A and B are shown apart, each in its own frame.
Chain A
Protein backbone atom coordinates (compact mmCIF):
# COMPACT_ATOMS: atom_id res chain seq x y z
CA UNK A 1 0.00 0.00 0.00
CA UNK A 2 2.81 2.37 0.89
CA UNK A 3 4.15 1.73 -2.60
CA UNK A 4 1.55 3.97 -4.17
CA UNK A 5 2.43 6.88 -1.95
CA UNK A 6 6.10 6.41 -2.72
CA UNK A 7 5.42 6.46 -6.46
CA UNK A 8 3.51 9.72 -6.20
CA UNK A 9 6.18 11.24 -4.01
CA UNK A 10 8.82 10.39 -6.61
CA UNK A 11 6.72 11.94 -9.35
CA UNK A 12 6.30 15.11 -7.34
CA UNK A 13 10.02 15.37 -6.71
CA UNK A 14 10.96 14.91 -10.34
CA UNK A 15 8.27 17.30 -11.56
CA UNK A 16 9.38 20.00 -9.19
CA UNK A 17 13.00 19.65 -10.21
CA UNK A 18 11.91 20.00 -13.85
CA UNK A 19 9.87 22.99 -12.87
CA UNK A 20 13.00 24.60 -11.50
CA UNK A 21 14.72 24.11 -14.83
CA UNK A 22 11.78 25.57 -16.75
CA UNK A 23 11.62 28.57 -14.47
CA UNK A 24 15.35 29.15 -14.79
CA UNK A 25 15.21 28.94 -18.57
CA UNK A 26 12.25 31.26 -18.65
CA UNK A 27 14.14 33.78 -16.57
CA UNK A 28 17.23 33.55 -18.73
CA UNK A 29 15.17 34.03 -21.87
CA UNK A 30 13.38 36.99 -20.34
CA UNK A 31 16.57 38.72 -19.38
CA UNK A 32 18.23 38.11 -22.72
CA UNK A 33 15.31 39.08 -24.85
CA UNK A 34 15.59 42.69 -23.78
CA UNK A 35 19.16 42.81 -24.89
CA UNK A 36 18.25 41.17 -28.13
CA UNK A 37 15.44 43.63 -28.78
CA UNK A 38 17.79 46.47 -28.07
CA UNK A 39 20.23 45.24 -30.67
CA UNK A 40 17.33 44.89 -33.08
CA UNK A 41 16.51 48.53 -32.50
CA UNK A 42 20.13 49.59 -32.54
CA UNK A 43 20.44 48.21 -36.04
CA UNK A 44 17.71 50.48 -37.39
CA UNK A 45 19.70 53.70 -37.85
CA UNK A 46 22.26 51.96 -40.01
CA UNK A 47 19.64 50.18 -42.07
CA UNK A 48 17.70 53.42 -42.46
CA UNK A 49 20.72 55.38 -43.58
CA UNK A 50 21.52 52.77 -46.18
CA UNK A 51 17.97 52.43 -47.39
CA UNK A 52 17.76 56.17 -47.77
CA UNK A 53 21.00 56.31 -49.72
CA UNK A 54 20.08 53.44 -52.00
CA UNK A 55 16.64 54.77 -52.75
CA UNK A 56 18.03 58.21 -53.40
CA UNK A 57 20.25 56.79 -56.07
CA UNK A 58 17.39 54.75 -57.43
CA UNK A 59 15.11 57.75 -57.71
CA UNK A 60 17.71 59.91 -59.41
CA UNK A 61 19.66 57.61 -61.62
CA UNK A 62 18.69 54.70 -63.69
CA UNK A 63 21.48 52.36 -62.84
CA UNK A 64 21.51 48.69 -63.45
CA UNK A 65 23.65 46.77 -61.05
CA UNK A 66 24.19 43.02 -60.95
CA UNK A 67 22.63 42.94 -57.51
CA UNK A 68 19.48 44.73 -58.52
CA UNK A 69 18.76 43.31 -61.95
CA UNK A 70 16.29 40.48 -62.00
CA UNK A 71 17.16 37.42 -64.00
CA UNK A 72 14.26 36.30 -66.16
CA UNK A 73 15.20 32.69 -66.23
CA UNK A 74 16.16 31.71 -62.71
CA UNK A 75 17.98 28.43 -62.80
CA UNK A 76 19.43 28.17 -59.36
CA UNK A 77 18.24 29.69 -56.11
CA UNK A 78 19.82 29.81 -52.72
CA UNK A 79 17.75 29.46 -49.60
CA UNK A 80 19.04 30.42 -46.18
CA UNK A 81 17.11 28.95 -43.27
CA UNK A 82 17.42 30.55 -39.84
CA UNK A 83 16.59 28.27 -36.92
CA UNK A 84 17.78 27.90 -33.35
CA UNK A 85 20.59 25.86 -31.88
CA UNK A 86 18.65 24.46 -29.01
CA UNK A 87 15.17 23.15 -28.59
CA UNK A 88 12.79 23.95 -25.77
CA UNK A 89 11.55 26.91 -27.68
CA UNK A 90 8.12 25.66 -28.58
CA UNK A 91 7.51 25.35 -32.27
CA UNK A 92 10.03 28.03 -33.19
CA UNK A 93 12.35 25.94 -35.34
CA UNK A 94 9.72 23.65 -36.77
CA UNK A 95 7.63 26.60 -37.93
CA UNK A 96 10.57 28.02 -39.83
CA UNK A 97 11.38 24.63 -41.28
CA UNK A 98 7.80 24.12 -42.34
CA UNK A 99 7.82 27.46 -44.09
CA UNK A 100 11.13 26.57 -45.72
CA UNK A 101 9.76 23.25 -46.92
CA UNK A 102 6.98 25.09 -48.64
CA UNK A 103 9.42 27.39 -50.37
CA UNK A 104 11.72 24.53 -51.39
CA UNK A 105 8.82 22.63 -52.83
CA UNK A 106 7.72 25.65 -54.80
CA UNK A 107 11.21 26.24 -56.15
CA UNK A 108 11.59 22.58 -57.06
CA UNK A 109 8.28 22.51 -58.85
CA UNK A 110 9.47 25.39 -60.94
CA UNK A 111 12.40 23.27 -61.93
CA UNK A 112 15.09 25.26 -60.18
CA UNK A 113 18.15 23.93 -58.59
CA UNK A 114 18.22 24.86 -54.95
CA UNK A 115 21.21 25.49 -52.79
CA UNK A 116 20.49 25.31 -49.10
CA UNK A 117 22.29 27.16 -46.33
CA UNK A 118 21.43 26.43 -42.75
CA UNK A 119 21.80 28.51 -39.65
CA UNK A 120 21.30 26.78 -36.31
CA UNK A 121 21.81 23.22 -35.15
CA UNK A 122 18.10 22.42 -35.37
CA UNK A 123 18.05 22.98 -39.11
CA UNK A 124 21.18 20.91 -39.52
CA UNK A 125 19.72 18.07 -37.46
CA UNK A 126 16.54 18.23 -39.53
CA UNK A 127 18.41 17.90 -42.79
CA UNK A 128 20.88 15.33 -41.48
CA UNK A 129 18.11 13.13 -40.18
CA UNK A 130 16.40 13.11 -43.55
CA UNK A 131 19.72 12.63 -45.31
CA UNK A 132 19.17 15.68 -47.41
CA UNK A 133 21.83 17.82 -48.93
CA UNK A 134 22.79 21.26 -47.84
CA UNK A 135 25.71 23.36 -48.89
CA UNK A 136 26.88 24.95 -45.75
CA UNK A 137 25.79 25.49 -42.21
CA UNK A 138 26.50 27.86 -39.37
CA UNK A 139 25.82 26.84 -35.81
CA UNK A 140 26.22 28.40 -32.41
CA UNK A 141 25.09 31.72 -31.08
CA UNK A 142 21.72 31.78 -32.77
CA UNK A 143 20.16 33.57 -29.84
CA UNK A 144 22.72 36.33 -29.97
CA UNK A 145 23.07 38.13 -33.28
CA UNK A 146 26.62 39.20 -33.96
CA UNK A 147 28.00 41.27 -36.81
CA UNK A 148 30.68 38.69 -37.61
CA UNK A 149 28.08 36.10 -38.51
CA UNK A 150 26.38 38.65 -40.73
CA UNK A 151 29.69 39.38 -42.38
CA UNK A 152 30.37 35.70 -43.10
CA UNK A 153 26.93 35.14 -44.54
CA UNK A 154 27.15 38.25 -46.67
CA UNK A 155 30.48 37.27 -48.07
CA UNK A 156 29.29 33.82 -48.95
CA UNK A 157 26.04 34.98 -50.49
CA UNK A 158 27.60 37.80 -52.47
CA UNK A 159 30.18 35.38 -53.77
CA UNK A 160 27.40 33.08 -54.90
CA UNK A 161 25.37 35.72 -56.60
CA UNK A 162 28.26 37.23 -58.48
CA UNK A 163 29.56 33.91 -59.75
CA UNK A 164 28.23 32.76 -63.08
CA UNK A 165 25.84 29.85 -63.29
CA UNK A 166 28.48 27.52 -64.65
CA UNK A 167 30.76 28.27 -61.74
CA UNK A 168 28.02 27.39 -59.33
CA UNK A 169 26.56 30.84 -58.93
CA UNK A 170 22.97 31.44 -57.99
CA UNK A 171 20.42 33.75 -59.53
CA UNK A 172 18.42 34.65 -56.47
CA UNK A 173 18.61 34.34 -52.72
CA UNK A 174 15.78 33.78 -50.28
CA UNK A 175 15.91 34.07 -46.53
CA UNK A 176 13.53 32.08 -44.36
CA UNK A 177 13.40 33.45 -40.85
CA UNK A 178 11.05 34.38 -38.07
CA UNK A 179 10.08 38.00 -37.98
CA UNK A 180 9.83 39.45 -34.51
CA UNK A 181 6.71 41.56 -34.42
CA UNK A 182 6.13 41.74 -30.71
CA UNK A 183 6.67 39.65 -27.60
CA UNK A 184 3.59 37.61 -28.44
CA UNK A 185 3.68 37.51 -32.22
CA UNK A 186 6.51 36.14 -34.27
CA UNK A 187 5.88 34.89 -37.71
CA UNK A 188 7.94 32.79 -40.11
CA UNK A 189 8.62 34.77 -43.22
CA UNK A 190 10.32 34.42 -46.57
CA UNK A 191 12.28 37.36 -47.85
CA UNK A 192 13.85 37.56 -51.24
CA UNK A 193 17.16 39.15 -50.43
CA UNK A 194 18.63 39.26 -53.91
CA UNK A 195 18.21 40.54 -56.49
CA UNK A 196 17.18 43.60 -54.57
CA UNK A 197 14.00 45.36 -55.25
CA UNK A 198 15.13 48.92 -54.92
CA UNK A 199 12.27 51.12 -53.96
CA UNK A 200 11.93 54.72 -54.77
CA UNK A 201 12.57 57.06 -51.85
CA UNK A 202 9.05 58.34 -52.09
CA UNK A 203 7.16 55.10 -51.82
CA UNK A 204 8.96 53.17 -49.17
CA UNK A 205 6.82 50.57 -47.51
CA UNK A 206 7.04 49.43 -43.93
CA UNK A 207 9.44 46.75 -45.04
CA UNK A 208 12.53 48.30 -43.60
CA UNK A 209 11.50 49.79 -40.34
CA UNK A 210 8.63 51.38 -38.59
CA UNK A 211 10.48 54.37 -37.26
CA UNK A 212 11.37 55.35 -40.75
CA UNK A 213 8.46 57.68 -41.17
CA UNK A 214 10.48 60.73 -40.29
CA UNK A 215 11.81 60.64 -43.80
CA UNK A 216 10.60 63.74 -45.51
CA UNK A 217 10.14 63.60 -49.19
CA UNK A 218 13.37 64.77 -50.65
CA UNK A 219 13.41 66.21 -54.07
CA UNK A 220 16.90 67.52 -53.67
CA UNK A 221 19.30 66.46 -56.26
CA UNK A 222 22.10 64.60 -54.69
CA UNK A 223 25.61 64.78 -55.77
CA UNK A 224 27.46 61.51 -55.47
CA UNK A 225 31.12 61.21 -54.86
CA UNK A 226 33.03 59.81 -56.62
CA UNK A 227 30.12 58.92 -58.94
CA UNK A 228 26.77 57.18 -58.60
CA UNK A 229 27.98 53.87 -60.00
CA UNK A 230 30.88 53.52 -57.65
CA UNK A 231 28.87 54.77 -54.74
CA UNK A 232 26.26 52.11 -55.39
CA UNK A 233 28.95 49.48 -55.81
CA UNK A 234 30.27 50.22 -52.38
CA UNK A 235 26.95 50.63 -50.71
CA UNK A 236 24.97 47.65 -51.90
CA UNK A 237 27.10 45.04 -50.14
CA UNK A 238 26.66 47.04 -46.95
CA UNK A 239 22.97 47.17 -47.54
CA UNK A 240 22.86 43.40 -47.90
CA UNK A 241 24.91 42.98 -44.78
CA UNK A 242 22.62 45.20 -42.82
CA UNK A 243 19.62 43.24 -44.08
CA UNK A 244 21.24 39.99 -43.02
CA UNK A 245 22.19 41.38 -39.67
CA UNK A 246 18.68 42.54 -38.99
CA UNK A 247 17.42 39.13 -40.04
CA UNK A 248 19.75 37.59 -37.48
CA UNK A 249 18.45 40.00 -34.85
CA UNK A 250 14.86 39.15 -35.71
CA UNK A 251 15.62 35.45 -35.52
CA UNK A 252 17.41 35.77 -32.19
CA UNK A 253 14.65 37.83 -30.61
CA UNK A 254 11.98 35.49 -31.91
CA UNK A 255 13.84 32.48 -30.60
CA UNK A 256 14.10 33.96 -27.14
CA UNK A 257 10.48 35.04 -27.14
CA UNK A 258 9.34 31.57 -28.18
CA UNK A 259 11.54 30.00 -25.58
CA UNK A 260 10.22 32.26 -22.88
CA UNK A 261 6.65 31.42 -23.78
CA UNK A 262 7.31 27.70 -24.05
CA UNK A 263 9.07 27.65 -20.71
CA UNK A 264 6.33 29.63 -19.05
CA UNK A 265 3.77 27.12 -20.30
CA UNK A 266 5.94 24.22 -19.20
CA UNK A 267 6.38 25.74 -15.75
CA UNK A 268 2.64 26.25 -15.38
CA UNK A 269 1.95 22.70 -16.45
CA UNK A 270 4.48 21.42 -13.95
CA UNK A 271 2.64 23.34 -11.23
CA UNK A 272 -0.60 21.71 -12.19
CA UNK A 273 0.94 18.26 -12.26
CA UNK A 274 2.42 18.75 -8.83
CA UNK A 275 -0.97 19.78 -7.51
CA UNK A 276 -2.60 16.77 -9.08
CA UNK A 277 -0.03 14.33 -7.75
CA UNK A 278 -0.21 15.83 -4.30
CA UNK A 279 -3.93 15.25 -4.26
CA UNK A 280 -3.55 11.68 -5.44
CA UNK A 281 -0.88 11.08 -2.85
CA UNK A 282 -3.13 12.38 -0.08
CA UNK A 283 -5.91 10.17 -1.34
CA UNK A 284 -3.66 7.18 -1.25
CA UNK A 285 -2.51 7.98 2.26
CA UNK A 286 -6.07 8.42 3.44
CA UNK A 287 -7.04 5.13 1.86
CA UNK A 288 -4.19 3.43 3.65
CA UNK A 289 -5.24 4.84 7.01
CA UNK A 290 -8.84 3.83 6.42
CA UNK A 291 -7.83 0.29 5.57
CA UNK A 292 -5.70 0.05 8.67
CA UNK A 293 -8.53 1.32 10.85
CA UNK A 294 -10.98 -1.10 9.31
CA UNK A 295 -8.54 -3.90 9.99
CA UNK A 296 -8.17 -2.93 13.63
CA UNK A 297 -11.91 -2.47 14.17
CA UNK A 298 -12.83 -5.74 12.52
CA UNK A 299 -10.05 -7.45 14.43
CA UNK A 300 -11.44 -6.13 17.73
CA UNK A 301 -14.93 -7.20 16.80
CA UNK A 302 -13.79 -10.69 16.07
CA UNK A 303 -12.46 -11.11 19.63
Chain B
Protein backbone atom coordinates (compact mmCIF):
# COMPACT_ATOMS: atom_id res chain seq x y z
CA UNK B 1 0.00 0.00 0.00
CA UNK B 2 1.21 3.48 -0.76
CA UNK B 3 2.15 5.48 2.23
CA UNK B 4 2.83 9.06 3.04
CA UNK B 5 6.27 10.35 3.84
CA UNK B 6 5.64 12.85 6.55
CA UNK B 7 7.87 15.55 7.95
CA UNK B 8 6.86 17.87 10.75
CA UNK B 9 9.33 20.71 11.07
CA UNK B 10 9.76 23.85 13.14
CA UNK B 11 12.14 26.74 12.61
CA UNK B 12 15.00 25.32 14.60
CA UNK B 13 14.45 21.59 14.43
CA UNK B 14 12.83 18.66 12.76
CA UNK B 15 10.02 17.57 15.05
CA UNK B 16 8.99 14.32 13.53
CA UNK B 17 9.65 12.39 10.37
CA UNK B 18 8.32 9.06 9.30
CA UNK B 19 5.73 7.25 7.25
CA UNK B 20 2.03 7.46 7.81
CA UNK B 21 -1.29 6.23 6.54
CA UNK B 22 -3.10 9.44 7.13
CA UNK B 23 -2.47 13.01 8.17
CA UNK B 24 -5.16 15.33 9.40
CA UNK B 25 -4.71 19.05 9.98
CA UNK B 26 -6.86 22.11 10.30
CA UNK B 27 -6.38 24.64 7.54
CA UNK B 28 -7.94 28.04 7.28
CA UNK B 29 -10.57 26.50 5.06
CA UNK B 30 -11.37 23.68 7.43
CA UNK B 31 -10.01 20.29 8.42
CA UNK B 32 -8.42 18.21 5.72
CA UNK B 33 -7.36 14.63 5.82
CA UNK B 34 -4.56 13.51 3.58
CA UNK B 35 -4.44 9.92 2.37
CA UNK B 36 -1.85 8.44 0.04
CA UNK B 37 -2.40 9.62 -3.50
CA UNK B 38 -3.80 12.97 -2.49
CA UNK B 39 -3.48 15.70 -5.08
CA UNK B 40 -0.85 18.37 -4.59
CA UNK B 41 -2.05 20.97 -2.21
CA UNK B 42 -0.60 23.64 0.00
CA UNK B 43 -2.59 25.26 2.74
CA UNK B 44 -2.22 27.57 5.66
CA UNK B 45 -2.91 26.15 9.07
CA UNK B 46 -4.85 27.76 11.76
CA UNK B 47 -4.73 26.87 15.44
CA UNK B 48 -6.14 23.40 15.82
CA UNK B 49 -5.57 19.72 16.35
CA UNK B 50 -3.50 17.61 14.06
CA UNK B 51 -3.12 13.88 13.88
CA UNK B 52 -0.82 11.49 12.11
CA UNK B 53 -1.78 7.82 11.76
CA UNK B 54 1.54 6.09 11.63
CA UNK B 55 2.14 3.09 9.40
CA UNK B 56 3.05 0.95 12.40
CA UNK B 57 -0.36 1.59 13.84
CA UNK B 58 0.67 4.26 16.30
CA UNK B 59 -0.87 7.64 16.40
CA UNK B 60 0.64 11.02 16.83
CA UNK B 61 -1.53 13.91 17.70
CA UNK B 62 -1.27 17.35 19.12
CA UNK B 63 -1.98 20.98 18.69
CA UNK B 64 -0.49 23.30 16.08
CA UNK B 65 -0.54 27.03 16.51
CA UNK B 66 0.09 28.15 12.98
CA UNK B 67 2.06 27.18 9.95
CA UNK B 68 1.35 25.50 6.68
CA UNK B 69 1.10 22.11 5.08
CA UNK B 70 2.27 21.07 1.69
CA UNK B 71 1.41 17.81 -0.02
CA UNK B 72 3.23 16.73 -3.12
CA UNK B 73 3.12 13.18 -4.52
CA UNK B 74 2.80 11.49 -1.15
CA UNK B 75 5.29 13.76 0.55
CA UNK B 76 3.65 15.69 3.31
CA UNK B 77 5.43 18.54 5.00
CA UNK B 78 3.85 20.19 7.98
CA UNK B 79 5.61 23.40 8.85
CA UNK B 80 4.64 24.48 12.32
CA UNK B 81 5.48 27.54 14.32
CA UNK B 82 4.56 25.88 17.53
CA UNK B 83 3.51 22.32 18.31
CA UNK B 84 2.29 20.70 21.45
CA UNK B 85 2.02 16.96 21.46
CA UNK B 86 -0.52 14.92 23.33
CA UNK B 87 1.27 12.27 25.34
CA UNK B 88 4.94 11.52 24.91
CA UNK B 89 5.02 10.34 21.35
CA UNK B 90 7.26 13.23 20.47
CA UNK B 91 10.63 11.61 20.33
CA UNK B 92 10.87 8.99 17.66
Question: Does A46 lie within 8 Å of B79, measured CB to CB?
Answer: yes
Q: Residues of B within 8 Å of A, CB-based: how many?
A: 24
Question: Does B42 lie within 8 Å of A223, measured CB to CB?
Answer: yes
Question: Does A46 lie within 8 Å of B72, measured CB to CB?
Answer: no
Tell me, yes or no, whether B90 is within 8 Å of chain A by CB.
no
Q: How far is the CA of A49 from the CA of B76 in the complex (A)?
A: 10
Known: A147-B11, A225-B42, A225-B44. A49 touches B27 (CB 8 A): no
Tell me, yes or no, whether A50 is within 8 Å of chain B by CB.
yes
Known: A52-B70, A53-B68, A218-B73. A226 touches B12 (CB 8 A): no
Question: Does B77 lie within 8 Å of A231, measured CB to CB?
Answer: no
Question: Does B28 lie within 8 Å of A225, measured CB to CB?
Answer: yes
Contacts of A222 in B (CB 8 A): 40-42, 70, 72
Question: Does B70 lie within 8 Å of A53, measured CB to CB?
Answer: yes
Q: List B62-82 residues whose CB lies under 8 Å from chain A.
A: 68, 70, 72-73, 77, 79, 81
Contacts of A221 in B (CB 8 A): 40
Question: Does A147 lie within 8 Å of B12, measured CB to CB?
Answer: yes
Known: A218-B72, A220-B72, A238-B79. A49 touches B7 (CB 8 A): yes
Question: Does B42 lie within 8 Å of A230, measured CB to CB?
Answer: no
Question: Does A224 lie within 8 Å of B12, measured CB to CB?
Answer: no
Question: Does B68 lie within 8 Å of A230, measured CB to CB?
Answer: no
Of A37-45, A125-133, A264-272, the one touching chain B: A37-45
Residue-wise interface mask of B (43-71) relative to A, using a CB-CB cutoff of 8 A (1 in contact, 0 not): 11000000000000000000000001010
Question: Does A224 lie within 8 Å of B14, measured CB to CB?
Answer: no
Tell me, yes or no, whether A8 is within 8 Å of chain B by CB.
no
Tell me, yes or no, whether A22 is within 8 Å of chain B by CB.
no
Q: Which of A225, A241, A242 contacts B41 (CB 8 A)?
A: A225
Residue-wise interface mask of B (32-44) relative to A, using a CB-CB cutoff of 8 A (1 in contact, 0 not): 0000000111111
Known: A223-B39, A225-B28. A49 touches B9 (CB 8 A): yes
Question: Does B11 lie within 8 Å of A242, measured CB to CB?
Answer: yes
Known: A218-B73, A225-B27. A45 touches B9 (CB 8 A): yes
Instruction: Tell me the nearest residue of chain A to B40, going by C-beta.
Output: A220
Instruction: Tell me the nearest residue of chain B to A39, going by C-beta.
Output: B12
Question: Does A226 lie within 8 Å of B28, measured CB to CB?
Answer: yes
Q: How far is the CA of A115 from the CA of B32 in the complex (A)?
A: 45
Contacts of A147 in B (CB 8 A): 11-12
Question: Does B42 lie within 8 Å of A56, measured CB to CB?
Answer: yes
Contacts of A216 in B (CB 8 A): 73
Question: Does A224 lie within 8 Å of B42, measured CB to CB?
Answer: yes
Contacts of A245 in B (CB 8 A): 11-12
Sample of 16 further A-B pairs with CB below 8 A, known A39-B13, A45-B7, A218-B72: A42-B12, A43-B13, A45-B9, A49-B7, A49-B79, A52-B77, A53-B70, A218-B73, A220-B40, A222-B42, A222-B72, A225-B27, A225-B41, A225-B42, A226-B43, A238-B81
Q: Which B residues lie at the A interface, using CB under 8 A?
A: 7, 9-14, 17, 27-29, 39-44, 68, 70, 72-73, 77, 79, 81
